[in-house]
Amino acid sequence: MEQELQAVEKLVDTGSRIIIEYGFQFTAAIIILLIGWFIARRVAGLVFRLCNKANFDITLSRFFAGVVKILILVFVVIIALGKFGITIAPFIAALGAVAFGGTLALQGLLSNYAAGLTIILSRPFVVNDTIRIQGVTGVVDEIKLAYTLLSTEDGEQVLVPNKQIVGEILHNSRENMVVEAAIHIDYNDDPRTAVAIIRNILDSHGNVAADPPAQVGIQEFGDSAIVIAYRYWVPTKRYFQTQFEINDAVYAEIKSAGMTIPCPRRDVHITQSS
């Protein structure tokens, strides 16, 4: 019984020495981490506001703020580990070994991150631009290191890996998209009147952009009709809505002006051999 009591007393003494020896260091490390986290958030917010004040792109502002926050947190963690007498040299060596071994496994992910960094720094497009890449068209909602998020007129969200963007042919029409259409009129009708009607419709529609201006004119002289073509720019998320409204108005006004929209005509000659 006496031996058991001595063992318990020894255990309590050892625990007390550990708490006394490392308790203050642990508390100091926790305080340093909390203060560092607070400072990192405040400094990152300051960097973000300064970038916005300098009219930086929102994606570039977020990137700079995020980099500053990560750097501060890394230094804070190093200081906190130092309170326990832990050096980071072994961790750096281990991290290097892990990174070397995982490079092939994470090749696709790393290429997306590298492409995302290229997009953020070179800025071929920014948030709210309309881009078309590999048959996908949409408005840029967000640019991440791994992917770019697009949205369509139908409310769909399209996630495009950044490695599929860098190095490919990219179409950027800013906030608008071009609509191209045509209507046929009879050769007996005046094409200048048709052009004036269509131009008036485009100029009076609220969704049609004034800059660049709409284009209306004779596209070609067909076999059975004069082709009047028109091009105009509309907000990307109102593309189909505006196109349908314009086409409906053009058809109604052309018919109201007494013009004829001819159908394709073919003359068939039948010969009979004796």
Task: Give 174's contacts (C-beta < 8 A, 6+ positions apart).
Answer: 129, 130
> 28 pLDDT exceeds 90?
no
For each of the domains in the chain, give its residue range(s) and CATH number, in order of start: 2-86 (1.10.287.1260), 124-172 (2.30.30.60), 176-256 (3.30.70.100)
- 240 — pLDDT class (breaks 50, 70, 90): very high
Query: pTM of the predicted model, to two decimals?
Result: 0.62
Q: Which of 29-38, 106-115, 239-248, 255-264 has the lowest mean pLDDT?
A: 106-115
Instruction: Render pLDDT for 73-126 as a digit per residue (tens, 0 to 9).
Output: 888 887 777 666 666 666 565 556 555 554 544 566 778 888 888 888 888 998
CB count in 10 Å sphere of residue 104: 8
**Which positions ≥6 away from 227 have C-beta within 8 Å?**
182, 183, 184, 218, 219, 220, 221
What's the confidence (pLDDT) of residue 79?
76
| Percentage above 90 pLDDT, the chain | 37
C-alpha triplet 168, 172, 174: angle, nearest 5°: 160
Q: Is the predicted pLDDT of residue 248 greater than 90, yes or no? A: yes
Helix/strand/coil (H, E, C) string of 162-204? HHHCCCCCCEECCCEEEEEEEEEECCCCCHHHHHHHHHHHHHH
Residue 224 has a pLDDT of 86
What local confidence, expressed as pLDDT, does residue 105 receive?
46
pLDDT for residue 101: 53
Using one digit for the tens of pLDDT, what is the confidence trace for 152-171? Answer: 988 889 999 998 998 888 99
Q: What is the pLDDT of residue 107?
A: 62
Neighbouring-strand partners of residue 149: 142, 159
Percentage, residues of the chain above pLDDT 70: 78
Whole-number pLDDT of residue 19 = 60
Q: What is the pLDDT of residue 111?
A: 83
Omega into 213 within 30° of 0, i.e. cis? no
Task: For residue 139, name the pLDDT band (cuts at 50, 70, 90).
Answer: very high
pLDDT tens string 194-235: 999 999 999 999 999 998 899 999 999 988 899 999 999 999
Lowest mean pLDDT among 55-64, 148-157, 250-259: 55-64
- At 64, the amino acid letter reads F
